[in-house]
Structure 1
Amino acid sequence: MADAPLILTLGLDTASFERLDAMRRRHFPRERNFIPAHLTLFHHLPGEKEEEVAATLRAVTREAAPIPLAVTGLRFLGRGTACEIDAPPLVALRRDLTARWRNDLTRQDAQGFRPHVTIQNKVPGAEARTTFETLRSAFSPFEATGTGLILWHYRGGPWEEAGTFPFGG
């Protein structure tokens, strides 16, 4: 379906992705874990504008360098846990894309951006708190790299890749 919404995520270096995805597989409810670990930049871009969105992504990533990321800590989500990401260049990139697409954004995508990778979500509060405390007690900050942008089709189930846009071409 051509008008299915598009999701935009940040591609991660292999070692960081594998580390975050292992955490997600361990803690995210199996029956709801349809997708690997990811850092979402936009949750709902217009599917009918896929070619236009892809052209913008090609243009902005062509000259962009990989983005340094600092995984600085954990955030309690109430019903889950996320790894917090500090990355001023990523925030600047998202701000630029927000300005370009401002007329097409949902309220969720138009509001503030706090980069994170969700490790657990949609579990009872007590379970979420236990997971958060367990993970926090063993957490050590680490460095990662954003390697490009990944565009996905959302059709109600697992996401389907619509394009990969590596930084630097």
Structure 2
Amino acid sequence: MPAPLRPLVVTLALPDDVQSELDALRRRWFPSGRTAVGAHLTLFHAVPGELEDQVRADLAEAVERGPVAVRLSGVMSLGKGAAYAVESPDLARRHDTLQRAWWPHLTRQDQQRLRAHVTLQNKVEPAVARATVESLRAEFRPADVEAPGFDLWRYDGGPWTHLARFAG
């Protein structure tokens, strides 16, 4: 019996300028040595790799409606980290559609309601995280973003391998 394929990760694809800004914030605030993956908004953390063909088809269909309107709406505490909160009824609808399509194969984490955010810092002491949240809040300005679509990655035991971008 062949070994199971590595899991797939699905993220929201962000415009290059927004991605660059978020990557810079992540490099600034994320613990050193742990920034192999850039800033990202994870929609699904571990879709079975055996579903790759279906995932690709479903993501292609999900972007047929065009870009995804999202709002970077505020700074949120993660307890041991900090993130930008993201609001988007459009993203929530598309996530729900994909979630229903893959439901029997999803982990408990991926079956939860989407709490969209971009993690800028994680796995630090709570006091450090609180200071980061305060600093980010002092500089934060809400932003409306047209996200082009979705990125598909393969989890390779630490780093991720980019497989495809699905853009509307």
Normalising to structure 2: TM-score of the pair? Answer: 0.94
SS of equivalent to 2:79: coil
1:19 and 2:21 correspond: yes
Q: Stretches of 4+ moved more than 6 A in 1?
A: none
Q: Which residue of 1 aligns with 2:8?
A: 6
Q: Which residue of 2 aligns with 1:39?
A: 41
1:83 and 2:61 correspond: no
- Tell me, in whole angstroms, the C-alpha distance in 2 between the residues paired with 1:70 and 1:38: 14
Q: Which amino acid aligns with 1:81?
A: A
Unaligned runs of 5+ in 2: none
- Tell me, in whole angstroms, the C-alpha distance in 2 between the residues paired with 1:162 and 1:78: 32
In the TM superposition, what is the alpha-carbon distance from 1:2 to its structure 2 partner? 6.0
SS of equivalent to 1:30: coil
Q: Which amino acid aligns with 2:145?
A: A
Spell out, residue by residue over 1:126-169, the C-alpha distance to the aligned partner (whole angstroms, 9 max, x if none): 111111111112211112121111110001121101111111xx
In the TM superposition, what is the alpha-carbon distance from 1:124 to its structure 2 partner? 0.9
- Tell me, in whole angstroms, the C-alpha distance in 2 between the residues paired with 1:140 and 1:60: 29
- Tell me, in whole angstroms, the C-alpha distance in 2 between the residues paired with 1:113 and 1:49: 21
Q: Which amino acid aligns with 1:164?
A: R
Spell out, residue by residue over 1:23-66, the C-alpha distance to the aligned partner (whole angstroms, 9 max, x if none): 111101121111011111100100112122112212222x2211
Unaligned runs of 5+ in 1: none
- Tell me, in whole angstroms, the C-alpha distance in 1 between the residues paired with 2:56 and 2:106: 16
SS of equivalent to 2:157: coil
- CA RMSD, 1 decimal: 1.2
- Tell me, in whole angstroms, the C-alpha distance in 2 between the residues paired with 1:139 and 1:109: 29
Q: Which residue of 1 aligns with 2:57?
A: 55
Question: Number of residue pairs matched?
Answer: 166
> Percent of pairs identical after alignment?
43
- Tell me, in whole angstroms, the C-alpha distance in 2 between the residues paired with 1:154 and 1:2: 13
Q: Which residue of 2 aligns with 1:66?
A: 67
- Tell me, in whole angstroms, the C-alpha distance in 2 between the residues paired with 1:26 and 1:142: 20
- Tell me, in whole angstroms, the C-alpha distance in 2 between the residues paired with 1:68 and 1:52: 24
- Tell me, in whole angstroms, the C-alpha distance in 1 between the residues paired with 2:125 and 2:32: 14
Q: Which residue of 1 aligns with 2:149?
A: 148
Spell out, residue by residue over 1:70-129, the C-alpha distance to the aligned partner (whole angstroms, 9 max, x if none): 111011000000100111100000000011111111000001111110000001111111
